[in-house]
Structure 1
Amino acid sequence: MSLYRDTGIVLRVHKLGEADRIITLLTRQRGLVRAVAKGVRKTTSRFGGRLEPFMHVDLQLAEGRSLDIITQAETINAFARDLGADYAAYTAGTAMLETAERLVQEDGEPATAQLQLLTGALRALTENRMTPSLILDSYQLRALSIAGYAPTFDGCARCGEEGPHRNFHAPSGGMLCDGCRVTGSAAPSPFTVTLLAGLLSGDWATVGTSDDRSRREASSIISAYLSWHLERGLRSLSHVDR
């Protein structure tokens, strides 16, 4: 049985039999991995709480026929400990985990950039660096960008004409000029467009000066854009405190 090591964040768990669990992880070297943790539901389990959602862990796994088996797990960052006491941060974090699982392919390819982004976003939540919903919105835009779906906010997504523009169309990839506008385009305010660009680039000075109306409008646009690329919405978003 071949062994390998990797680091990752636990995205989701579900029961398998009477004592085991299938653990879904975003890992550095192999992307999305689903592996079995044997006996993890027993009170005598050697894994303790290290294989729960949000936990950032160093792992040893054994390659299996259908699912790999986790043989060792050591905590790197116990994000679950801090997020459990803050509802707004916890729900935003849950939406991040679902976003990562949906965006990363289970193809064995490295996901270094996605893992680094998720780790940084969860750390920002636990350290209360910004309103949780804003950290979530920025994370989702940047995760989409890493996956190859970066939206355009500073120019026309179709013809490239320099902005600012006032029409947003998710299927077209972002903002559209008046000449390229299509039916069904949204018309966000200029303040919202500026906020969206700041969330994508990580310009927290700009993000911090935004008003509540722009934040709500930006969240709606990001949700629509994400849903378009994932072909359905995220269940966890309905619980996020906006």
Structure 2
Amino acid sequence: MPNIDVCGLVTREVKYGENSRILTVLAKDIGKVSVLASRARTNRSGLLTATQLFAYSNFTLFKGRENSLMKMNEGEVIESFSEIRNSLDNMAYASYFCDIANHICTDGTEENELLGLLLRVLKRLSVKEENTAESLKAECVFLFRALSIAGFAPNCDGCASCGKNENIKFFDIQNGVFLCGNCSAKPRQNTVEITSAMYNTIDYIVSSEINRVFSFSLGEKSLRYLAGVGEACVRNQLEYDFKTLKYLNNVRDL
């Protein structure tokens, strides 16, 4: 099989043998692939930086004979997002986002929209000084936009009962719909209270052009609450408890 040249983001790495890595790469045009990078953990290897977690790199791959894994001939880093490693919190955020992306994607299916979203979010986390509000904003954007890409976009067409777009008070996490204060006086099962600003923010995140998806304003307290709502939505819709979220919560509690 001839070599394949791809650019992709390393979303998972596992040590293999004494000095190799098995990678999960979200690659442009071809989607998620598993790759064996032999000797990638040695200082002499040109693959050391290109195969690190969160690295976006150009790779030359070929099909291995021994198993279904692709093998790596060459790698050259495009963007390492190395500043993420300056913050334990942002490392935890990035790991959580990559974990979700790996869960959503299926092997060999083009996922360029999700890849583009993930790159934008990692860029927001790649800062010299930690900014809690910006990290929470990145989380809100990634969670709700990723759900939308996966086919679980919240229905922001007003109240699910009366259709009115006023006095929205509750969000039904299980069904992805909103309810106004006139149709529901108190939270029902699987619903959470939200403000009009939060409702408008969710609507903006799932419907805006990707190059303007961060162009909204919300206070840090509201961002923190909305991020928690997004986490609950992801857990409910994907039916999976992410260990990386537990780690993120532990880090945030430090």
Q: Same fold (TM over 0.5)?
A: yes
Task: Give runs of aligned pairs for residues 156-235 of structure 1, distance below 5 A.
Answer: 156=159, 158=160, 161-164=163-166, 165-177=168-180, 179=183, 183-200=189-206, 201=208, 204-207=214-217, 210-235=218-243
Q: Aligned match of 1:67 in 56, 69, 85?
A: 69
Deviations 1:108-163 (A, max 9, x none): 1211111111111111222579611211210121111112111123424x568132
Q: What runs of 5+ residues in structure 2 fail to find an aligned partner?
A: none
AA aligned to 2:83 is: D
> Partner residue of 1:142?
145
Higher mean displacement: 118-127 or 132-141:
118-127
Q: Is the 8 A contact 2:124 2:134 kept in 1?
A: no
Q: Is the 8 A contact 1:114 1:146 kept in 2?
A: yes
> Partner residue of 1:104?
105
Deviations 1:67-122 (A, max 9, x none): 1101111111111x21111233322222221121111112x121111111111111
After TM superposition, give the deviation of residue 17 of structure 1 in Å.
2.3
2:238 and 2:190 map into 1 onto residues whose CA distance is 19
Q: Is the 8 A contact 2:95 2:244 kept in 1?
A: yes
Q: Is the 8 A contact 2:19 2:42 kept in 1?
A: yes
Q: What runs of 5+ residues in structure 1 fail to find an aligned partner?
A: none
Percent identical residues:
23
Higher mean displacement: 38-47 or 65-74:
38-47
- 1:203–1:18 distance in 2 versus 1, CA, 3 Å: closer
1:195 and 1:75 map into 2 onto residues whose CA distance is 35
2:43 aligned counterpart, secondary structure: coil
AA aligned to 1:152 is: N
Q: TM-score by structure 2 length?
A: 0.82
- Please give the root-mean-square deviation of Cα atoms over the aligned residues, in Å: 2.5
1:132 and 1:174 map into 2 onto residues whose CA distance is 26
- 1:74–1:168 distance in 2 versus 1, CA, 3 Å: same
